[in-house]
């Protein structure tokens, strides 16, 4: 039990914070209801995938600066492919785009492994490359999304036998997120590959000496990151109905949520749940500030200050823990 | 020889650019033997080990395992070939728990548990994260993990270093029994005692070449030393100094006076003096509070009680700079803790000069050069590779860490196991240097894990056990048995209890407590 | 830079070792190659005016890359330089309307000092990862700037004549900006090589524990470093507004990633302990020439970015190979 508490303490704290924030939201805006929660879930979706993409790489001891650019590229690719095409065609587009993310992510990892250039530099270069590629696909926001894709994340999940009141609090977007992440993450975490990812992040030398194929594992971690980023790109297209070639603020947000979610930037520690909860916390703070009718610019300042304060506090705690 | 070797490596060579780390090394290990691999620092031991375990690949040479040529390209391949190393730094993943570490390497859990018990660790929680486990235990776990898969050849790199005597005994016992099962162990060690007790044969490397394979028989040590040193053999025997040779009578005020020093639960009520012109030894088993004592004196951690007086006035250190200002310098045992590895010898030696805020301005290059050069000369540092400290040998690196404080003219030097893992020649030089410093009126506090060093270097010996000061010996009485008894917390004059060294149990030796294995 | 005679016997290895000993040489060769390509594509383009123009645009990048070089030596990075430069420039341009130039200057440098201080304390005292810390402060800075913009929206902005002269002016073939840059660059190079502070930057980046045991107080070094970095960024902002002449809320933002790239291309290790400013200056020149080259080739924006990214990657990888061959 103490092991569990020690390891999950941070996540539990975050969940508590999330609940407090929900209560605060209800107090600020007594009318805050299931519909608002649905739009929160939809807004969180691309962020959550970006964070998942970042988390995998950070656990493996790296960092991926190209997450947002990857999302932009996959989003415009999907949107331009679906523009004017039939609904069924989209069934092909989705796996194609996901495969593209996987391959480009693996390319990130391959470049890091083969060139031995630091990950920050490689993914920075890839940021330029992917951004450029996105601009070549679509030089202005455009394209379209299949209706069924858009419908996939709007509305709620009808579960027979559940009263509507509860049903309404289960937005489809949340379900999509949970399913996509669980299908990949849960089996991974328990597998030897998952352990290897933690191992190379924790200590590359020890991992190498334990017989972990360090290079291959690193490539796989980046490939997974690319896959999650592609999910994020699809989520963008699904929620906006178009694709935009200019990357959104997802890089910074993903790093912030990873840190807030208790994943050490050195690697080897943490899980996926923490960062995902952290995304909800950060988005909900934004909602609350908007509900309080605070100037959006001031909101940006407060958001930044929260992020910095959280990170400083986290660092302070680890420092105290070490002494 | 009638039996064919389990492992037979011949003509192994490895170059790093123009530098040859190994020229022509060979190593042949028979089934059922414990085989020592010896050589001074830089002789190529670690390179050979890395090649055998697949960490790096050789430029030339042939490796046969059970008579079959094998190309060992990765640690995983070495593992499959039945070759398993246990390195000096444990290779458990720090952030994973023990169980995950086992799963990662595909180690069966039950045999592992059995070995852990065998090796004297009574209760281990497999859910403990490796990072939270003390180093000594971690090394034993690493060994147990290797043993659990029953490797044909087990490679142990300085296995007993950093192990407390009770664990070391168990480890040696287990290693000895490996041979009986027809398996082989390659045993790398600087300690002749262990080698003569344990090994059947020894392969000696010098300058990247195998210069001899000898059978371990009584009196073979001289021969091995000869082989290791080649023509450069220097026999320096520093005899114990008699009381008459010692520095002038103690001045009224000690240089450093420690009263009832307390650090958390690790160190309790420790009091002693350190005088100018003396080398005071500190002897303790692993983890008895000596790390905390040195850290507190060096200003790295704050004591939770007691006082430290320097030249008669009380001091409170909150950062190493405070200690340095008081003339107290700390030389850590781990060189990688003390050196900026990518920087030059000069910058490393000059590092303390620019530490204080007021010295951030332009550097007087000429003056710095003169000071640094004189320190280099005094310590005879080999400066052929001075552009980057990481290219120096271990012994030379250790000299740089000491040279830094000689250049800075520190009055008191705290040396924490400065001779750990360095070659015999450099060890001798360091002993000489410490005596010289004392001769010049400096004071030295010298922790050593090798008891024989005490007689060579120290004037007095402070023995610590379980965080408490056990005794302070004059050097004449500090022979190894006496020190060993004291290190186990037994008062002076007590009868030499039979069997103390062999099997201290958890009940009579609180040492296991200090190791983190809860009784 | 003396090019010693190369005997042709073991030619390939000889060249590699030569380049390893003088890491600046491959960079200069690359720069020359780029200029030659430019000259081949547009014969006659490489003239006095073009050189002056290139240097003019390279200087702000080079100063910001100097911030990156110094922070990278300690194993850090300063991503807030773009925001700091923008803030200084914007405040200068808006305050000069109503204030004395000296006061406007002081006001313009205030956010630089503040952000540098916060960065330094966050990294040095609280031990936050520099990437995160500086991203965070740049986010806050941008927010503050947006709020500030609303308060001065009525009063308008102008570019001080002196800054325009410094930023765009050319005196007998030499850009005036060199008046600022040459002493600044000399100071940075000297600081890194010959002062206690410079030594500490390298040492802290190489092995922080070792510096602590040698009596170095980490927070002092780091705080001083990030304040210095921010001040340099602030000065860059003033120079840059003189060059661009259009205050905007994202003025220097596009320089941030290239500044990192310039330092990396220039051979500074992003993990700390290794590198220098001379390489960085050449790195900044290379990136500027490259930008011109791509503009002349009339590449679509997308293809330009792709090529830019690939070249950053390629140069770093090639550099790594050359340096490692020892």
Token pair for B365: 């290059």
Range list of β-strands (E), chain C: 170-171, 174-175
> Is residue B279 pLDDT above 80, yes or no?
yes
pLDDT in tens, C266-304: 888 877 888 899 999 999 999 999 888 888 888 888 887
Q: Name the minimum distance, in Å, from the CA of B387 to any CA of chain C.
A: 11
Distance CA B418, CA B333 (A): 5
When divided into structural domains, chain A yields a total of 1
Contacts (Cβ under 8 Å, ≥6 apart) of A28 = A288, A291, A292
pLDDT band, very low/low/confident/very high, at B100 (cuts 50, 70, 90): very high
| Subunits in contact with chain C (3 or more CB pairs closer than 8 Å) | A, B
Work out the average pLDDT over B107-133: 88
Q: How far apart are CA A63 and CA C131, in angstroms?
A: 11
How does residue C12 score in pLDDT terms, banded at 50, 70 and 90? low
**Two structure tokens written together for B496:** 């030499």
Is residue C261 included in any domain, yes or no?
Answer: yes
Quickly state the pLDDT bin for B181 (edges 50, 70, 90).
confident
Q: What is the pLDDT of residue C226?
A: 97
Measured between CB atoms, which of B95, B101, B106 is closest to A268?
B95
Query: Alpha-carbon distance A203 to C13, whole Å?
Result: 35
Q: Can you tell me the mean pLDDT for B72-80?
A: 87
Nearest residue on chain C to A302, judged by CA atoms? C140
Residue C30 falls inside a structural domain: no
Q: How far is C280 from chain A (nearest CA, A)?
A: 15
Backbone angles phi, psi at B495, to 5 degrees: -65, 145
* Structure tokens given for C183: 């002493």
Mean pLDDT of B504-517: 38
**Was domain B254-327+411-519 assigned CATH 3.40.50.300?**
yes
- Residue C66 forms contact with A (CB below 8 Å): no
C312 vs A124: CB contact, 8 Å cut-off? Answer: yes
Single out the residue of B398, B422, B454 nearest to residue B190, CA to CA: B422
In-domain check, residue A182? yes
For residue C2, the model assigns a pLDDT of: 40
**Local confidence band at B236 (pLDDT 50, 70, 90 cut-offs):** very low
Higher pLDDT, A163 or C100: C100
Query: B75, A211: Cβ pair inside 8 Å?
Result: yes
Residue B223 burial by Cβ neighbours in a 10 Å radius (0-12, 13-18, 19+): middle
Q: Give the containing element (helix H, strand E) for B465.
A: strand B460-465
Same fold, B7-232 and B254-327+411-519: yes
| Alpha carbon of B145: minimum distance to chain A alpha carbons (Å) | 10
Give the Cα-Cα-Cα angle B149, B151, B157 (nearest 5 degrees): 110
Please report the pLDDT score of residue B484 as a whole number.
72
pLDDT (tens digit per residue) in B291-319: 999 999 999 999 999 999 999 899 999 99
Lowest mean pLDDT among B40-54, B111-125, B293-307, B405-419: B40-54
Percent of chain B past pLDDT 70, that is, above it, reads 87
> Looking at CA atoms only, how far is residue B505 from chain A in angstroms?
29
Nearest CA in chain B to C208: B340
Q: Which of residues 170-199 of A touch B (CB under 8 A)?
A: 192, 195-196, 198-199
Q: Is residue C156 part of a domain?
A: yes
Residue B258 DSSP class: E
Residue A222 Cα, gap to closest chain C Cα (Å): 17
Whether A7 maps to a domain, the answer reads: no
Indicate the pTM of the whole model. 0.77
A-B contacts (CB, under 8 Å): 65
Q: Return the number of CB contacts < 8 Å for A and C.
A: 142
CA B387 distance to own-chain centroid: 26
User: Cα separations (Å) of B499 from A166, B494, B496, B502?
Assistant: 72, 14, 9, 5
Chain A residues near residue C120 by CB distance under 8 angstroms? none
Q: Which residues, 6+ apart, have CB-to-CB distance to A231 below 8 Å?
A: A49, A52, A98, A101, A180
Average pLDDT over residues B115-123: 86
Per-residue pLDDT, averaged over B213-219, amounts to 85
* Confidence class for position C179, pLDDT limits 50, 70, 90: very high
Flag whether residue A316 sits within 8 Å of chain C, measured between CB atoms.
yes
Domain spans, chain B: 7-232, 254-327+411-519, 337-410
Residues of chain A in contact with residue C143, where contact means CB-CB under 8 angstroms, are 297-304
Contacts of C194 in chain B (CB under 8 A): 362-363, 365
Nearest CA-CA partner of C229 in C89, C63, C56: C63
Q: How far apart are CA B430 and CA B421, in angstroms?
A: 13
User: Would you call C181 an interface residue with chain A, using a CB distance cutoff of 8 Å?
Assistant: no
Nearest CA in chain B to C221: B357
pLDDT of residue A320: 66
Contact C284, C65 (CB under 8 A): yes
Treating both helix axes as pointing N-terminal to C-terminal, what angle do B394-407 and B365-379 enclose, rounded to 10 degrees? Answer: 130
**Closest of C133, C82, C134, C60 to residue C249, by C-alpha:** C82
Q: Which residues of C touch A303 (CB under 8 A)?
A: 139, 143
Picking from B87, B89, B96, the nearest residue to A199 by CB comes out as: B96
Residues of chain B neighbouring C200 (CB-CB closer than 8 A)? 354-355, 360
Its domain, for residue A219, covers 35-248
Range of the domain at C293: 54-324
Band (pLDDT 50/70/90 cuts) for residue B465 is confident
Query: How far is the C-alpha of B158 from the C-alpha of B191, rounded, in Å?
Result: 9
Q: Is residue A292 part of a domain?
A: no
What does the pLDDT read at residue B500? 34
Closest to A305 (Cβ–Cβ): which among C135, C140, C142?
C140
CA distance A167 to chain C (A): 38
A213 close to B (CB below 8 A): yes
Q: Is C209 among the domain residues? A: yes
Q: Please give the pLDDT value at position A153.
A: 86
Q: What is the mean pLDDT of chain B?
A: 82
Which residues, 6 or more positions from A115, have their beta carbon under 8 angstroms from its beta carbon? Answer: A122, C313, C316, C317, C320
| Contacts with C220 from chain B: Cβ below 8 Å | 357
**Contact, B107 vs B160, CB < 8 A?**
no
Pick the CATH number of B7-232 from 3.30.499.10, 3.20.20.80, 3.40.50.300, 1.10.3720.10: 3.40.50.300
Residue B318's CB: how many other CB atoms inside 10 A?
10
For residues B392-406, average pLDDT: 88
Q: Please give, rounded to a whole number of angstroms, the shortest distance from the CA of C307 to a CA of chain B.
A: 33
Summarize pLDDT for C120-160 with one digit per residue, the tens. Answer: 999 999 888 788 789 889 888 988 998 999 888 888 888 88
pLDDT of B498 higher than 90:
no
- Distance separating alpha carbons of residues A36 and A29, to the nearest angstrom: 11
Task: For strands B7-16 and B60-65, give the pairing.
Answer: antiparallel
- Express as a percent the part of chain B with pLDDT over 90: 33
User: Cα B342 vs. chain centroid, distance in angstroms?
Assistant: 23
**Residues C92, C240 contacting (CB under 8 angstroms):** no
For chain C, the domain total comes to 1
Max mean pLDDT among B13-17, B132-136, C15-19, C223-227 falls in C223-227
Is A301 among the domain residues? no
Residue C23 or C218, more confident: C218
Q: For residue C278, give the CATH number of its domain.
A: 1.10.3470
pLDDT, tens digit, 9 for 90 and up, residues A200-217? 999 899 999 888 999 999
CB contact under 8 A, C215 and B300: no
Contact (CB<8Å) A117/C135: no
Average pLDDT over chain C reads 87
**Sign of the C-alpha dihedral, residues B62, B66, B68, B70?**
negative
pLDDT band at residue B468 using 50, 70 and 90 as cut-offs: confident
Return the pLDDT at C15: 64
Residues in chain A with pLDDT < 70? 1-7, 317-323
- Decide which of B153 and B20 is more confident: B153
Q: Which of B343, B351, B365 sits opposite C194 (nearest CB)?
A: B365
Q: B422-447, pLDDT tens digit by residue?
A: 777 888 889 999 999 999 999 999 99
- Chain B nearest-CA distance from A210, in A, is 6
Region class of A116: left (phi > 0), else alpha (psi between -120 and 50), else beta: left
Quick check: is C23 in a domain?
no
Spell out where B150-265 has E strands: 153-157, 184-188, 201-206, 209-215, 256-263
Q: What is the pLDDT of residue C203?
A: 95
pLDDT score recorded for residue B223: 80
Confidence band for B506, pLDDT divided at 50, 70 and 90: very low
Please report, to the nearest 10 degrees, the dihedral formed by the alpha carbons of residues C127, C128, C131, C134 taken in order: -100
Distance CA C22, CA C12 (A): 15
């Amino acid at each position: 039990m103490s092991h569990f508490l020690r390891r999950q303490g941070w996540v539990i704290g975050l969940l508590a914070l999330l609940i407090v924030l929900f209560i605060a939201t209800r107090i600020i805006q007594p009318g805050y209801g299931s519909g608002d929660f649905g739009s929160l879930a939809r807004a969180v979706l691309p962020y959550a995938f970006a964070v998942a993409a970042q988390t995998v790489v950070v656990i493996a001891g790296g960092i991926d600066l190209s997450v947002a650019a990857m999302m932009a590229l996959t989003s415009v690719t999907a949107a331009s492919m679906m523009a004017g095409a039939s609904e069924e065609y989209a069934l092909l587009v989705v796996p194609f785009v996901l495969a593209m993310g996987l391959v480009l992510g693996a390319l990130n990892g391959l470049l890091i492994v083969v060139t031995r250039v630091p990950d920050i530099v490689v993914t920075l270069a890839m940021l330029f490359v992917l951004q450029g590629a996105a601009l070549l696909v679509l030089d202005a926001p455009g394209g379209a999304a299949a209706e069924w894709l858009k419908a996939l994340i709007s509305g709620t999940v009808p579960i027979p036998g559940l009263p509507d009141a509860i049903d309404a609090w289960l937005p489809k977007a949340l379900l999509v997120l949970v399913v996509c992440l669980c299908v990949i993450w849960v089996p991974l975490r328990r597998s030897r590959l998952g352990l290897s990812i933690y191992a190379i992040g924790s200590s590359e030398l020890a991992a190498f000496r334990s017989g972990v194929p360090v290079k291959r594992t690193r490539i796989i971690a980046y490939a997974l990151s690319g896959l999650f980023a592609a999910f994020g790109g699809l989520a963008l297209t699904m929620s906006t109905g178009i694709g935009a070639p200019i990357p959104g603020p997802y890089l910074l947000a993903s790093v912030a949520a990873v840190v807030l979610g208790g994943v050490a930037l050195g690697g080897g520690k943490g899980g996926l749940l923490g960062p995902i909860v952290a995304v909800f916390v950060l988005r909900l703070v934004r909602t609350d500030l908007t509900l309080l009718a605070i100037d959006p610019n001031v909101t940006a300042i407060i958001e930044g200050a929260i992020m910095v304060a959280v990170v400083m506090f986290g660092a302070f705690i680890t420092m105290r823990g070490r002494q | 020889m009638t039996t064919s070797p389990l492992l037979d490596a011949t003509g192994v060579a490895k170059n790093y650019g123009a530098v040859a780390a190994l020229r022509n090394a060979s190593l042949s290990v028979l089934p059922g033997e414990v085989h020592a691999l010896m050589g001074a620092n830089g002789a190529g031991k670690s390179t050979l080990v890395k090649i055998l375990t697949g960490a790096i690949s050789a430029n030339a040479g042939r490796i046969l395992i059970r008579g079959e040529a094998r190309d060992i390209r990765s640690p995983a391949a070495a593992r499959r070939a039945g070759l398993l190393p246990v390195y000096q730094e444990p290779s458990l993943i720090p952030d994973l728990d023990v169980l995950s570490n086992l799963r990662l390497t595909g180690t069966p859990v039950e045999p592992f548990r059995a070995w852990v018990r065998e090796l004297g660790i009574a209760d281990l929680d497999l859910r403990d994260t490796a990072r939270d486990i003390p180093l000594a235990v971690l090394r034993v776990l690493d060994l147990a993990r290797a043993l659990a898969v029953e490797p044909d050849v087990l490679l142990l790199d300085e296995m007993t270093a950093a192990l407390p005597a009770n664990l070391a005994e168990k480890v040696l016992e287990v290693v000895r029994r490996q041979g009986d099962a027809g398996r082989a162990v390659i045993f790398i060690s600087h300690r002749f005692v262990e080698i003569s007790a344990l090994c059947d044969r020894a392969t000696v490397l010098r300058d990247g070449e195998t210069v001899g394979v000898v059978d371990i028989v009584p009196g073979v040590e001289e021969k091995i030393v000869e082989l290791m040193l080649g023509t450069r053999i220097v026999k320096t025997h520093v005899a114990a100094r008699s009381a008459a040779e010692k520095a002038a009578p103690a001045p009224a005020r000690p240089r450093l006076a420690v009263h009832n020093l307390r650090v958390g639960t690790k160190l309790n009520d420790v009091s002693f003096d350190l005088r100018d012109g003396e080398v005071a030894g500190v002897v303790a088993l692993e983890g008895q509070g000596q790390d905390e004592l040195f850290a507190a004196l060096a200003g790295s951690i704050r004591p939770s009680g007691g006082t430290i007086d320097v030249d008669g006035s009380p001091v409170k250190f909150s950062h190493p700079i405070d200690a340095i200002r008081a003339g107290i310098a700390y030389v850590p045992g781990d060189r990688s803790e003390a050196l900026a590895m990518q920087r030059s010898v000069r910058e490393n030696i000059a590092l303390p000069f620019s530490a204080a805020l007021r010295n951030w301005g332009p550097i007087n290059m000429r003056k710095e050069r003169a000071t640094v050069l004189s320190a280099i000369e005094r310590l005879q540092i080999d400066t052929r590779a001075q552009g980057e400290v990481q290219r120096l040998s271990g012994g030379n690196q250790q000299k740089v860490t000491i040279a830094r404080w000689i250049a800075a003219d520190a009055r008191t030097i705290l040396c924490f196991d400065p001779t750990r893992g360095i070659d015999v020649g450099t060890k001798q030089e360091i002993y000489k240097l410490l005596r010289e410093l004392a001769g010049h009126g400096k004071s030295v506090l010298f922790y050593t894990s090798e008891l024989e060093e005490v007689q060579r270097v120290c004037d007095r010996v402070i023995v610590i056990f379980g965080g408490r000061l056990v005794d302070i010996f004059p050097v004449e009485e500090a022979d190894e048995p006496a020190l060993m008894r004291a290190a186990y917390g037994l008062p002076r004059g007590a009868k030499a209890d039979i069997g103390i060294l062999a099997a201290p149990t958890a009940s009579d030796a609180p040492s296991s407590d200090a190791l983190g294995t809860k009784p | 830079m003396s090019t010693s005679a190369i005997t042709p016997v073991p030619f390939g290895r000889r060249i590699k070792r030569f380049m390893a000993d003088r890491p600046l040489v491959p960079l200069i060769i690359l720069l020359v190659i780029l200029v030659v390509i430019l000259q081949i594509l547009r014969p006659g383009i490489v003239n006095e005016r073009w050189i002056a123009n290139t240097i003019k645009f390279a200087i702000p990048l080079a100063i910001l890359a100097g911030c990156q070089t110094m922070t990278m030596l300690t194993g850090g990075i300063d991503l807030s330089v773009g925001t700091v430069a923008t803030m200084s420039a914007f405040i200068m341009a808006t305050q000069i309307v109503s204030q004395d130039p000296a006061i406007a200057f002081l006001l313009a440098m205030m956010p630089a000092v503040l952000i540098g201080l916060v960065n330094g304390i966050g990294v040095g005292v609280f031990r936050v990862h520099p990437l995160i810390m500086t991203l965070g402060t740049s986010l806050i800075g941008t927010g503050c700037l947006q709020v500030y913009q609303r308060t001065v929206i009525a009063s308008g902005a102008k570019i001080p004549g002196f800054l325009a002269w410094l930023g765009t002016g050319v005196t007998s073939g030499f850009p005036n900006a060199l008046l600022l840059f040459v002493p600044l660059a000399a100071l940075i190079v000297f600081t890194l090589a010959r002062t206690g502070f410079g030594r500490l930057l390298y040492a802290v980046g190489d092995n922080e524990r070792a510096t602590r045991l040698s009596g170095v107080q980490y927070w002092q070094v780091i705080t001083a470093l990030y304040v210095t970095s921010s001040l340099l960024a602030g000065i860059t902002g003033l120079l840059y507004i003189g060059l661009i002449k259009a205050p905007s809320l994202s003025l220097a933002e596009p320089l941030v990633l290239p500044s990192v790239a310039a330092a990396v291309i220039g051979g500074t290790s992003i993990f700390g302990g290794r590198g220098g400013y001379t390489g960085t200056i050449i790195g900044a020149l290379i990136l500027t020439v490259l930008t011109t080259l791509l503009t002349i080739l009339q590449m679509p924006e997308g293809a330009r970015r792709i090529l830019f990214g690939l070249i950053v990657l390629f140069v770093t990888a090639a550099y790594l190979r050359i340096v490692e061959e020892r």
